[in-house]
Chains A and B, each alone.
Chain A
């Protein structure tokens, strides 16, 4: 296990460095100029040149890369070309929105998907199993922004039970207000994500229910709940964990849409705005943090899978 962890950590770091280099180069070769976001119609050629010079975007890409790499090693993510604010603290200020949003959405999705997926498999021969499965299938086709708007219309505009969007100016200093602001976005994420999760949980459960070891255990006199608990869960867990890791990463990235629909000041809205303005340091910073989060989740997912099912440790890597 320890060899595995060391190797996996090295791989994580290597992927992250590679990703950051690719990211830097890709951005520089994309068409577009951050100066355009700062100047308006009426700017003179001299103003345009002066602005480029000031932002340093007229330097050769190689020189920009070296200076960026030097800063990034010391965890200095630079300053926004547009707002002149330090990127690091700006990202840190957005995390208290994006992280709880993603995690709560994820946990709720799991809470919804595991029992429903299990039921859908367990009652596959009855009327309610296929019904649950059908509803989940339908859920897969629902775009997140549409569901978000629907929930806003019902709970905010009609029932007036929840805010339609926004985040309290004081942030988490008023936890109740902050949590209230997150209810609808979290619910949106959870419902969308649970739709795909239900199918995985159902498939994994069906596999286990039809497996030889479960039949053997039951033939030896074990009740179904006991057999499931002792043998089934562990076997069903490994594939589900792999999927969960991917889903968590997807949720993190998918928060972009949700944050826009609900006007939440998170990483997603920061990224969309930065992309529109070609604000390279901000795009790089947010992408670096997101890439790290995705890679880290993948890493934890892999480790968790091996803890759940030690056979994997022996089979590969």
Chain B
């Protein structure tokens, strides 16, 4: 019998002997450092016009690929591959001059033909880009010489330059861009180990300011706990965006880590189907909005993080205005509005709720809040896939919840065909005028007006704005805080 016990002990010893390892504390030269980044957004493929998802933007945008313009982490649009541009008086013709000495990673020099082909990739029939519809105004692209691109639009579009910041200039001769990359950025694509890591290495032939580190490795996790554990064990240096507040406590009290709250553009919406009764009545939508205590909901989901917004516009957009007072929490007002809307005894509706956090929690909260004004909520939990088919495509819903992640997306309320079916001719017109505006000030003014109307009409209930939380090791600096539209520029990050 002793022998059996010895076998067990031996096996354990073997196991423990494999548990070796340990740290080394060599002082660092930041330019030689590789930055380890933890993320839950693994790219689906490497092409942002082929449905690569937000992961591909996070890893490659600004790092491997560059646009004619760049949207900075603070939300301004700055020239990048285009050194200069002019717009014609009527706003229909844009002429761009390309920067000197730019080469792709493959060594080929950037020419105007690449720019033309890159824009056409986004507007092509097979394009899966979310930006396709905003670039539909592009009528013609001409390349008078190697360094000049002239774009003719079918209608004036003040957002055109901003939209170009999403268009990657790619070497279209590079082959299948879903699995390989050839950009002009400060990093080359290293190796992509599906399900695990994607690495970037510094491009020493970069035309601009070279990256401050030797490279970066994105480590991908499907489990948020595993991701945070990686940060706690120094397997990664930074987590691009924390998905749940529960994890933050372990970093808050630890001086080795820094929690950064940036400006998010992700709104959690209770979207009504404005086409169908009773949500076709403004009073009913206002009643429902006023009956839900958004501050309490935000606190229960995110604790002290996050912000309340009274509309679709986050503080980072140029046309932001604080509209939280418009349909403020007021149960008595809600009851009155409900009666005005022809539903004095309340009503019952189905809330299509995506099955992942925080939607189930928020749905339960909404249900109990609305019970106070006699409105009964039937929660119907669905997968994101079902959401896309049932709600987005077939518009077969009464009310739903969804996160809308992009900035400048208030303009969807100007489209009566959008899934929530909000139709107000004035808003549609304001959005159209804003796009045709001559100056950015005029654009901002018009969109502010549109935003005010949708808030007053409670087109949806904007529950809250997510916090954008980057947690990093305390010796790391230079990382983006706002992660605008999922970008994560790596080139300025240094480890001290």
Contacts and interface: CB of A to CB of B under 8 A. Distances in A.
Interface string A242-269: 0000000000000000001111111001
B386 A32 contact: yes
Interface in A172-214: 176, 179-180, 183, 187
A47 B49 CA distance: 11
B226 A164 contact: yes
B258 interface: no
B178 interface: yes
A265 B193 contact: yes
Interface in B214-267: 217, 219-223, 225-227, 229-230, 232-233, 235
A169 B51 contact: no
Contacts of B42: 273
Contacts of A119: 1, 4-5
Contacts of B18: 179-180, 183
A287 interface: no
A37 interface: yes
Interface string B384-428: 111011001100000000101000000010000001000000000
Interface residues of B, number: 60
Contact of A183 (B19, B195, B219, B419): B19
Interface in A145-175: 149, 152, 155-157, 160-167, 169, 171
B133 A157 contact: no
Contact of B412 (A40, A42, A118, A162): A42
A10 B199 CA distance: 46
A40 B19 contact: no
B144 interface: no
B159 interface: no
B133 A108 contact: no
A44 B132 CA distance: 9
A37 B385 contact: yes
Contacts of A112: 8, 11
Interface in B146-198: 176, 178-179, 191, 193-197
Contacts of A3: none
A83 B226 contact: no
B191 A169 contact: yes
Interface in B16-31: 18-21
B51 A51 contact: yes
B439 interface: no
B44 to A, nearest CB: 5
Contacts of B179: 83-85
A172 B8 CA distance: 27
A263 B19 CA distance: 18
Contact of B385 (A33, A152, A260): A33
A127 to B, nearest CB: 14
Interface in A274-301: 276-278
B195 A84 contact: no
A187 B51 contact: no
A167 B412 CA distance: 43
A242 to B, nearest CB: 23
A39 B389 CA distance: 11
Contacts of B385: 31-33, 36-37, 276, 278
Nearest to B383: A32
Given A83-B178, A115-B7, A261-B226, A43 B383 contact: no
Interface string B46-84: 000011010000000000000000000000000000000
A64 interface: no
Contact of B232 (A45, A83, A157, A270): A157
B126 interface: yes
B87 interface: no
A169 B126 contact: no
Given A164-B232, A183-B15, A169 B128 contact: no
Contact of B402 (A41, A42, A82): A41
B50 to A, nearest CB: 7
Contacts of A265: 193-196
A93 interface: yes
A307 to B, nearest CB: 24
Nearest to B391: A41
20 contacts: A32-B386, A33-B389, A37-B44, A38-B128, A40-B130, A42-B133, A43-B132, A83-B194, A85-B179, A112-B11, A115-B5, A160-B233, A162-B21, A163-B21, A169-B197, A179-B18, A183-B15, A262-B226, A270-B194, A278-B385
Q: Which 10 A-B pairs have the closest CB atoms?
A: A38-B51, A265-B195, A115-B4, A164-B229, A265-B196, A36-B388, A84-B178, A83-B45, A40-B130, A32-B385
Interface of A: 31-33, 36-48, 50-51, 54, 82-85, 90, 93-94, 108, 111-112, 115-116, 118-119, 122-123, 149, 152, 155-157, 160-167, 169, 171, 176, 179-180, 183, 187, 260-266, 269-270, 272-273, 276-278
Given A32-B389, A43-B130, 19 more contacts: A32-B383, A38-B51, A39-B130, A41-B404, A43-B128, A47-B128, A51-B128, A83-B179, A85-B194, A94-B195, A122-B1, A155-B19, A157-B229, A161-B21, A165-B226, A166-B196, A180-B19, A263-B226, A272-B222
